[in-house]
Structure 1
């Protein structure tokens, strides 16, 4: 049990670091101050500033785990395809989650503190879930109807060689 808690703690720390990459990008663009160790983003604006906490719930880890579990137990793919789609999905979900955080920060920065609920709970979630549904469609539905992303990737690699 102790080993499991160490792995869980290390995983949550990694999530915090990856989630903070989006905020670090915003920091480099001089939009928000960034408190790395605490996982806090101080979003300044013309009205009332907002302090946003980035924790494991903001990381997309639940959606990532659900996607990987579906890929692993999806009976239509061979082992190499499952690994490819799992890695592709993890990177894709991470990228769209970073995009979601950037959109929320930009909306709150330019729209004021009163736009936080709209930006985080409506626009951010809508953007994230629409793009996740697009991933699910491409991996589980479209790939069964036409050539899958994996097969196109393999063909592209062979043509390049």
Structure 2
């Protein structure tokens, strides 16, 4: 009950703050307050069902790679990636941090208030961003599972915390670069 009250109160304060900043014509503060506020609200609303959904969908996507390669299996309803190699079983859990929900909601918060885009283009870019981040996450988690298959549990930290993150964030930076620095080009592409 308390968390629902906090969420509703946060939304009311956020909407009021947006209206004040819009009337004051402070575009930069409107963008910042709107983006950060929407991100926080989406994160608050995503628990527990959004996190479960994102984790399930990502695990399912990784499972496709596992089936194609035959190197690992997944149990998407349990958010588990199972790697069996050299008579050892490794269980990888796709949790809140690995689901991609934080990165996706951050992107949605930014795109919703980025002044270069309007209406339908924001919606299309939000959907495109979701798919891009989803695929980046599937690639990252598949890389981790393949690494554990070939090199064992000792390689997990390197694959997960360093190389996997470099892969994921490089792909995320490409998305951000194109969407947020090439806005006029993206606008022209979406207009055709």
Shorter-chain TM-score above 0.5: yes
Q: Deviations over 1:63-106 (max 9, x none)?
A: 11111100111112121221111111111111111111111111
**CA RMSD, Structure 1 to Structure 2 (Å):** 2.3
1:74 partnered with 2:114 = yes
In the alignment, what sits opposite 1:154? Answer: 191
Q: Which structure has the larger Rg over C-alpha atoms?
A: 2
In the alignment, what sits opposite 1:51? Answer: 91
Contact 2:121 2:190 in 1 (8 A): no
How far does residue 135 in structure 1 lie from its aligned partner after superposition?
0.5
Q: Deviations over 1:13-68 (max 9, x none)?
A: 21122121133224424212333432222212237542111112101111111111
| Structure 2, unpaired ranges of 5+ | 8-43
In 2, the alpha carbon distance for the partners of 1:104 and 1:113 equals 10
In 1, the alpha carbon distance for the partners of 2:119 and 2:73 equals 44
Which of 122, 126, 130 matches 1:86?
A: 126
- So what's the TM-score if we normalise by structure 1? 0.82
| Structure 1, unpaired ranges of 5+ | 156-161
1:65 partnered with 2:105 = yes
In 2, the alpha carbon distance for the partners of 1:6 and 1:135 equals 25
- So what's the TM-score if we normalise by structure 2? 0.70
Out of 7-16 and 105-114, give the one that drifted further: 7-16
In 1, the alpha carbon distance for the partners of 2:112 and 2:133 equals 16
In the alignment, what sits opposite 2:16? Answer: none
User: Does the C-alpha gap of structure 1 residues 76 and 99 become closer, same or farther in structure 2, counting only changes over 3 Å?
Assistant: same
How far does residue 6 in structure 1 lie from its aligned partner after superposition?
8.7
In the alignment, what sits opposite 2:171? Answer: 131
Contact 2:140 2:168 in 1 (8 A): yes
User: Does the C-alpha gap of structure 1 residues 109 and 65 become closer, same or farther in structure 2, counting only changes over 3 Å?
Assistant: same
User: Does the C-alpha gap of structure 1 residues 81 and 105 become closer, same or farther in structure 2, counting only changes over 3 Å?
Assistant: same
